[in-house]
Amino acid sequence: MIPNSTIGTEAENWYEKSSNEVLDVFDSSSSGLSSAEAAARLVADGPNQIKQAKRPGVARILLSQFRSLIIWILIVAGAVSGIMGEMANAIAILVIVVLNAFMGFYQELSAERSVDALRLLTAPEVKLRRDGRVLSFPAVQVVKGDILMLEAGDLVAADSRILQAASLSIMEATLTGESETVEKQAAAFLPGKIPIGDQSNMVFMGTSVAAGTGEAVVVATAMDTQLGRIASLLDQAQSEKRTPLQQKLDAFGRLLIWIALGIVAVLFGLGYLRGTPLGELSLTAIGLAVAAVPEGLPAIVTVALSVGVLQMARRRVLVRKLATVETLGSTTVICTDKTGTLTVGQMTVRALYVAGISYDVTGEGYGPDGQILFADKIAAGDHLPRLLALASVQIGCNNAHLFEEEGIWRVIGDPTEGALLVSGGKAGANRVHMDEESPVIIELPFDSDRKRSSVVRKMPNGRLGAYVNGAPGPLLARCSHIYTQRGVVPLLSEDRRAILSVISGMAKRSLRVLGSAQRDFDLVLNTDICADEVECNLTFVGLAGMFDPPRSEAKGAIANCHAAGIRVVMITGDHPETASAIATDLGIASGALATTGTDLEATSESDLRERAPLISVYARVTAEHKLRIVRALQANGDVVAMTGDGVNDAPAIKGADIGIAMGQTGTQVTKQSADLIVTDDNFATIVEAVEQGRGIYDSIRKTLQYLLAGSTAELLLMTVCVIIGLPAPLLPIHLLWINLVTDGLPALCLATDRIDPSVMNRPPRRRSESMTDRRFLSTMLLTGLLTASVAFGVYFYTLTTKDAETARTYAFTVMVFSEILRAFGARSETESVWRISLLTNRSLLAVVVGTFAVQIWSQHNAVLGGLLKTSPIAFPDFLVLFMFAAIPLFVLELFKLVRPVSVQN
Ligand code: ADP
Ligand code: MG
């Protein structure tokens, strides 16, 4: 083993060297490094990662807690108390400052950790050849000398010298700003200086494969790459901002602080004029400021969002951007793929058509059992050579592999090709034989714009033969001849008509139809030949109709969307009639014919915008059309979620409000441009994510409501007493206790409450809607008023009959009781308390019971009682206080009954 950390650290002109020379420098070979060697190099050179802008360390996060105004208000309050000899008060305030800072610190740290965990889950993967086998690895594990396997949709994980390339083209915009793709090949350059944009035998980290396939040997990783050198330029773009909702609430919180300080100043002046002693006045003023500010507010949003994100990960949705969680709740249209998302993505060929005859195929799944039937009898005799002719195209141009695992046959690769492999096998064709007899020369893999794939093989007779499978309509347009019972003859228009009607018949049965064609060549082809040159003057051979059953849960999920006021739009590359048949079956559209890509070409932007709200099924579209559809919907004010899997889908995914990539079939590029990754590719999971998004928004709203109503009550009570000239009903320590313990803990439980089962029964929230709308503010005021009135009544009455300390204790107790009781009512804005089981939020129940116990115990405990300045309350009085404390909850519940449920929107 050579000393690794020194290999190739010199920035060399790799493009001048032949691929073998480069392999030698890195002590690698075309079968790749050994795992042991790769592991050693990883240790020596470090992970293949661009260093990000320094993220705040533990100490920084802790310090940042002291940057908030409220903490300083508290510290000043503590100091003032200390100076005035109120030591207990001062210590209590300081303890609470530390506790508060620690809680904020802990929440921020765990939010940071969970974001890290998610980043790991959504990290890009690469295919490497190691120990002679191709396996998938996290991109950070790539080392120099590794062999990268590249195909359309892959991200290039490190700077590498190309060893082989087949129609390989790369998107280098991230590096060069050039939006055109660049063709790549393996040939070396003459010595000399060449800018990276022209180094066509090199691929660079951070770029992506637009088309074709290739292999390349890694020459630089991490900060040694071209991307690493310019990484400092990218830093800013990568740091995640606070989400729009967080920003709005930050601003709202600041506004509250200033309002509170304003009120405090006015009351302070008023007290001063009346001649209240300055010391007492400052304490009250500090108390008021503390009362008005909901300390828990910023933490609540972070906690609700990050807990939500983790819950979603458990339900197979990876969130790549926190802000997405907020947008999800206001989704109005979900544009979804058909194959694999609405359907299970498991194809079985049910029908074949060749030389003018239709056949049925039996057997399910990817297993070899099953027969080809003609008129309900096993096809034999003359049928066999024709079926074999079709099968050889289906199998000859095919990259899928079948394998048996625990008695179940599975497919590796494209399920469509897997199905063709199975039906080809049923007709007696065998790819292993074929590969020996006629080796593959050129592959032109499937892409969703061409909608076909081709393979050119060297035939035993020395000529070249092309096998083409693809969407039958467009394929037919490229055929000039047809294979018939009489041999190959020119394709007439009546043949076309007959074939089109067979296609349409299959499509109406919900079958995905694939056409097969072939040709041979006189000329010698070079490997750089483009698809158009191969896929023309073809001989049409036959059709296969395959069934891909709808997912059983999709129908229910679509019905849920409709109940939730969300439109579902199917966008597929498949045949319009297949699309319509499945859409009708799933309840997306009722029999209306699909709008096709060709229709879209003929539609102007403004017409599309007008028609978009009425179209539920798009068929035979390309990726470019997807972007137009997104734009048209957005122009109408829709909030659009869009799924995609292929490379070409990336622009549409980026353009959508919520871009969703498929975890299993999605390419790396799609995943990197998406906001969400759905790991099971299932439509129902997307709908669950929307539900979660709505639920999280609700939780934040109700928690905010709960906290602010509490602050309003405290502020009202204090203000009224100061104005009337009564002694302060609550001491700063009481207010802190209420804000942090008896409000803070229930608030945390509310922020992570279960999702209201009815969230999907109402229309989407408008994105422009403010969280603090009229209903929100009026409920907040009403609640504050009720709670303050009850506490004031109790305080005033006790003050006239007993001493000030007892009156304070009573006011404090009734306030705490009513706050924690109200936490139950705050769980839903519309649903009555008695309809929501207490057991669905056990932590809230525990917090409430615990707080009750502590409240009662504190009055009989010398230390806590001394700290909180409370005196013991007799048991009968407790019951009375409890009953008074329940009044706000009861009144609010009555309001829920009379207010119409739909006011929410
Ligand atoms: P979707 O995923 O929306 O169903 P695709 O873009 O995957 O649509 O496919 C569009 C059409 O291309 C299909 O209807 C089929 O006729 C054809 N097709 C799909 N996969 C392949 C493949 N692997 N090889 C050849 N043709 C294919
Ligand atoms: Mg597809």
Question: Average pLDDT per run of 10 along the chain, which is 905 residues long?
Answer: 42 82 90 93 89 68 74 77 75 76 74 67 82 87 93 89 88 78 83 82 89 90 83 48 75 80 85 80 75 69 81 88 87 94 93 96 92 94 95 94 87 90 94 91 86 92 93 96 95 96 95 96 70 91 96 94 96 93 92 88 95 94 91 95 86 92 86 89 95 92 91 90 87 81 84 87 87 88 95 94 90 93 89 81 90 85 77 86 93 83 44
**73: CB partners within 8 A, 6+ apart:** 286, 289, 290, 293
Catalytic residue selected from 337, 495, 574, 753: 337
Burial of 511-550, coded b for 16+ CB within 10 Å and e otherwise, reads bbbbbbbbbebeeeeeeebebeebbeebbbbbbbbbbbbb
Q: Is 453 in the pocket of ligand 1 (CB under 6 A)?
A: yes
**253: CB partners within 8 A, 6+ apart:** 293, 294, 297, 298
Atom of ligand 1 nearest to the CA of 620: 10
Predicted local confidence at residue 237, as pLDDT: 39
Q: Which of 316, 327, 298, 315 is nearest to 111 (CA)?
A: 298
Ligand 2 centroid–CA 116 distance in Å is: 32
Q: Is 643 in the pocket of ligand 1 (CB under 6 A)?
A: no
Ligand 2 centroid–CA 339 distance in Å is: 6
Q: Is 420 in the pocket of ligand 1 (CB under 6 A)?
A: no
Nearest ligand to the CA atom of 400: 1
Nearest ligand to the CA atom of 665: 2
Helix axes 744-751, 683-724, angle to 10 degrees: 160
Q: Whose CA is nearest to atom 8 of ligand 1?
A: 573
Residue 647 token pair: 């490379």
Q: Which of 473, 479, 551 is nearest to 512 (CA)?
A: 473
Q: Which of 574, 580, 645, 667 to mutate to test the pocket of ligand 1 (most atoms within 8 A of CB)?
A: 574
Residue 50 token pair: 């661009």
CA distance 75 to 183: 64
**801: CB partners within 8 A, 6+ apart:** none
CA distance 568 to 617: 9
Predicted local confidence at residue 595, as pLDDT: 95
Predicted local confidence at residue 5, as pLDDT: 41
894: buried, middle or exposed (CB in 10 Å: 19+, 13-18, 0-12)? exposed
Q: Whose CA is nearest to atom 3 of ligand 1?
A: 572
3: buried, middle or exposed (CB in 10 Å: 19+, 13-18, 0-12)? exposed
Q: Which of 170, 175, 156 is nearest to 230 (CA)?
A: 175
Residue 322 token pair: 């926190």
Predicted local confidence at residue 49, as pLDDT: 83
Q: 150: which strand partners? A: 214
Q: Whose CA is nearest to atom 27 of ligand 1?
A: 470
CA distance 735 to 723: 19
Q: Which of 446, 648, 667 to mutate to test the pocket of ligand 1 (most atoms within 8 A of CB)?
A: 446
Q: Is 446 in the pocket of ligand 1 (CB under 6 A)?
A: yes
pTM for the full predicted model = 0.83
Q: Is 348 in the pocket of ligand 1 (CB under 6 A)?
A: no
Q: Is 694 in the pocket of ligand 1 (CB under 6 A)?
A: no
Query: In whole angstroms, what separates CA 617 from the centre of its chain?
Result: 24
Q: Whose CA is nearest to atom 10 of ligand 1?
A: 573
Nearest ligand to the CA atom of 342: 1
Q: 162: which strand partners? A: 216
Question: In the block, which residue shows the tokens 């396996």?
Answer: 135
Question: In the block, which residue shows the tokens 């006629």?
Answer: 438
**374: CB partners within 8 A, 6+ apart:** 357, 359, 360, 383
Written as one letter, the residue type at 817 is F
Predicted local confidence at residue 869, as pLDDT: 78
Question: Cα dihedral angle (627, 633, 637, 642), rounded to 10 degrees?
Answer: -60
Ligand 2 centroid–CA 739 distance in Å is: 54
Predicted local confidence at residue 179, as pLDDT: 75
SS3 200: coil
Predicted local confidence at residue 238, as pLDDT: 41
Q: Whose CA is nearest to atom 14 of ligand 1?
A: 574
> Taking the CA atoms of the chain, what radius of gyration do you get in angstroms?
35
Q: Is 221 in the pocket of ligand 1 (CB under 6 A)?
A: no
Predicted local confidence at residue 467, as pLDDT: 97
Residue 253 token pair: 């919180």
Q: Is 470 in the pocket of ligand 1 (CB under 6 A)?
A: yes
CA angle centred on 893, ends 887 and 899, rounded to 5°: 135
Residue 392 token pair: 């050889």
- Catalytic: 337? yes
Residue 320 token pair: 């790549």
Predicted local confidence at residue 230, as pLDDT: 73
Residue 814 token pair: 């009734």
Atom of ligand 1 nearest to the CA of 575: 14
CA distance 119 to 139: 13
CA distance 56 to 108: 11
Q: Is 573 in the pocket of ligand 1 (CB under 6 A)?
A: yes
